[in-house]
């Protein structure tokens, strides 16, 4: 692949008509109001790679270099193109929705870091300065959107050469120290785009991996979330393990090859490998107090904490499933209420084949079994209102799970028999 000097043709060939029209109109509107506007980041990179890209990121440089550039231009675009500004931040960003797609506008800025891993101090800047604060050279490629030079590629950091050669390269030696989340981003880009870190970049990544220890749980979680959203998260997780990133995040954390194999075999067998399945797999090897430590390290919200906790709870429960001729209703009682991702993760990795089978049967079949009759039906059949209703519903469910009864009529006769046998005792 030879990187062209303009991506106008790629925009025309690869983007849907409404997105293309939006980029042209946005460029014209910006120009006539004294702004410089550029398409930046992932979309430029992905257009050059011929990969589908997500919503566009637009970089705004105002005439008077204030942090309001993006917000002011977003207002102008919203009224000119009939869209809506859906959010703005004090860091000079705004989100615009036009024709149903979201565009991020970013005021060109410089970033300085008071401490490694701290959030940056942000000041307005030129596009050249903005490009110099970014993570990797291939993310610094920008396309001019002004009408006279629409699509012209601006490559201030040799991103084009690196893209051509499949090289992921930081812009300066302290990049990972400034922002250690870039380490996890590197693992994600390498595996998603089939890149390799430049030798100097990889050496810096290994040297600076320890800085991961200093970043907040929320920031780690955000990067993990983005990895979990990848088509094959196990590749980025495996690469992060090769680079020892996990042990710096939390000493007990690791992503072994068996976890990669488990994810792949679940996917190949047609099970849904949802993002949270990868959290369950990451938590699966943890013992005793370690799940709590992981929740604390990630500042885990309720949904993450539930997956981590349930994955550990299952580790404790598994031996009790390893019983000959165990009834489905017994399995159900032990597993009901646990996060599906925890069950699916263990279904690939539990020590005994029989236990793995039970976990899958619960997940795919028994979890969804419902009785035909409900509490009202039981009352009309003669069960008095009160705790007995719950007891009988549970008995019905057990009988359904254990294939003792199947139909509504059989449930009704089960209840009638129960009432008459109680009357005789």
- Residue 116 touching ligand CTP (CB under 6 A): no
Q: Which is nearer to ligand CTP, 181 or 398 (CB)?
A: 181
Q: Which stretch binds ligand CTP (CB under 6 A): 94-102, 178-186, 313-321, 323-331?
A: 178-186
Pairing mode, strands 84-89 and 93-98: antiparallel
Place of tokens 């279904």: 347
The C-alpha atoms of residue 144 and residue 149 are separated, in whole angstroms, by 6
Q: Which is nearer to ligand CTP, 179 or 411 (CB)?
A: 179
Q: What angle do CA 347, 349, 350 make, to 5 degrees?
A: 75
If you count them, how many residues does the chain have?
425
- Residue 14 touching ligand CTP (CB under 6 A): no
Q: What is the CA radius of gyration of the chain?
A: 28
Place of tokens 């996990």: 246
Q: Which stretch binds ligand CTP (CB under 6 A): 133-141, 143-151, 359-367, 386-394?
A: 133-141
Please answer whether residues 302 and 330 qualify as being in contact, where contact means their C-beta atoms are separated by less than 8 angstroms.
no
Q: Which stretch binds ligand CTP (CB under 6 A): 65-73, 132-140, 321-329, 396-404?
A: 132-140
CB of 134 to ligand CTP, least distance (A): 4
The C-alpha atoms of residue 179 and residue 148 are separated, in whole angstroms, by 37
Q: Which residues pair with 38 in a beta bridge?
A: 59, 144
32 to 51: interface string for ligand CTP, x by CB under 6 A:
---------xx---------
CB of 175 to ligand CTP, least distance (A): 8
- Residue 139 touching ligand CTP (CB under 6 A): yes
Sign of CA dihedral 312, 314, 318, 320: positive
54 to 93: interface string for ligand CTP, x by CB under 6 A:
---x------------------------------------
- Residue 135 touching ligand CTP (CB under 6 A): yes
- Residue 157 touching ligand CTP (CB under 6 A): no
CB of 188 to ligand CTP, least distance (A): 7
- Residue 162 touching ligand CTP (CB under 6 A): no
Residue 1 per-residue DSSP state: -
Q: Which is nearer to ligand CTP, 52 or 270 (CB)?
A: 52
Q: Which stretch binds ligand CTP (CB under 6 A): 177-185, 255-263, 327-335, 348-356?
A: 177-185
- Helix (H) / strand (E) element for 228: namely helix 217-228
**Which strands form 93-98's sheet, in the order they lie side by side?**
84-89, 93-98, 101-107, 57-61, 36-40, 142-144, 153-154
Distance of CA 122 to the CA centre of its chain: 27
Distance of CA 69 to the CA centre of its chain: 30
Q: Which stretch binds ligand CTP (CB under 6 A): 59-67, 84-92, 116-124, 176-184?
A: 176-184
The residues binding ligand CTP (CB under 6 A) are 41-42, 57, 134-135, 139, 179, 181-182, 185
């Amino acid at each position: 692949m030879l990187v062209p000097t303009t991506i106008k043709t790629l925009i025309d060939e690869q983007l849907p008509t409404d997105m293309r029209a939006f980029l042209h109109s946005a460029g014209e509107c910006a120009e006539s109001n004294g702004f410089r506007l550029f398409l930046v980041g992932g979309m430029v990179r992905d257009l050059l790679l011929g990969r589908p890209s997500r919503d566009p990121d637009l970089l705004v440089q105002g005439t008077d270099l204030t942090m309001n550039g993006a917000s002011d231009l977003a207002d102008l675009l919203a009224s000119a193109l009939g869209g809506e500004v859906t959010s703005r931040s004090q860091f000079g960003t705004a989100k615009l929705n036009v024709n149903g797609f979201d565009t991020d506008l970013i005021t060109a800025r410089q970033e300085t870091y008071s401490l490694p891993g701290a959030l940056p101090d942000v000041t307005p800047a030129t596009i050249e300065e903005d490009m110099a604060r970014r993570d990797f050279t291939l993310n610094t490629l920008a396309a001019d959107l002004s009408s006279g030079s629409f699509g012209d590629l601006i490559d201030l950091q040799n991103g084009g050469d690196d893209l051509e050669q499949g090289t992921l390269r930081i812009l300066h030696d302290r990049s990972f120290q400034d922002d250690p989340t870039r380490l996890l981003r590197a693992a994600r880009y390498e595996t998603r785009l089939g890149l390799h870190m430049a030798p100097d970049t990889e050496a810096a990544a290994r040297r600076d991996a320890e800085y991961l220890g200093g970043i907040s749980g929320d920031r780690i979680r955000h990067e993990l979330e983005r990895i979990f959203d990848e088509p094959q998260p196990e590749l980025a997780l495996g690469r992060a393990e090769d680079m020892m990133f996990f042990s710096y995040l939390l000493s007990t954390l690791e992503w072994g090859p068996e976890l990669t194999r488990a994810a792949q075999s679940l996917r190949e067998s047609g099970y849904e490998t949802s993002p949270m399945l990868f959290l369950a797999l990451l938590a699966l090897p943890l013992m005793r107090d370690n799940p709590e430590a992981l929740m604390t390290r990630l500042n885990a919200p309720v949904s993450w904490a539930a997956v981590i906790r349930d994955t550990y709870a299952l580790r404790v429960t598994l031996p009790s499933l390893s019983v000959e001729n165990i009834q489905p209703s017994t399995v159900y009682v032990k597993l009901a209420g646990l996060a599906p991702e925890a069950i699916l993760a263990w279904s690939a990795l539990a020590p005994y084949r029989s236990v793995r089978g039970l976990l899958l049967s619960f997940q795919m079949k028994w979890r969804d079994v419902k009785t035909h009759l409900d509490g009202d039906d039981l009352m009309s059949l003669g069960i008095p209102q009160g705790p007995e209703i719950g007891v009988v519903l549970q008995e019905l469910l057990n009988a359904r799970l254990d294939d003792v009864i199947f139909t509504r009529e059989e449930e009704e006769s089960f209840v009638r028999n129960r009432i008459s046998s109680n009357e005789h005792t």
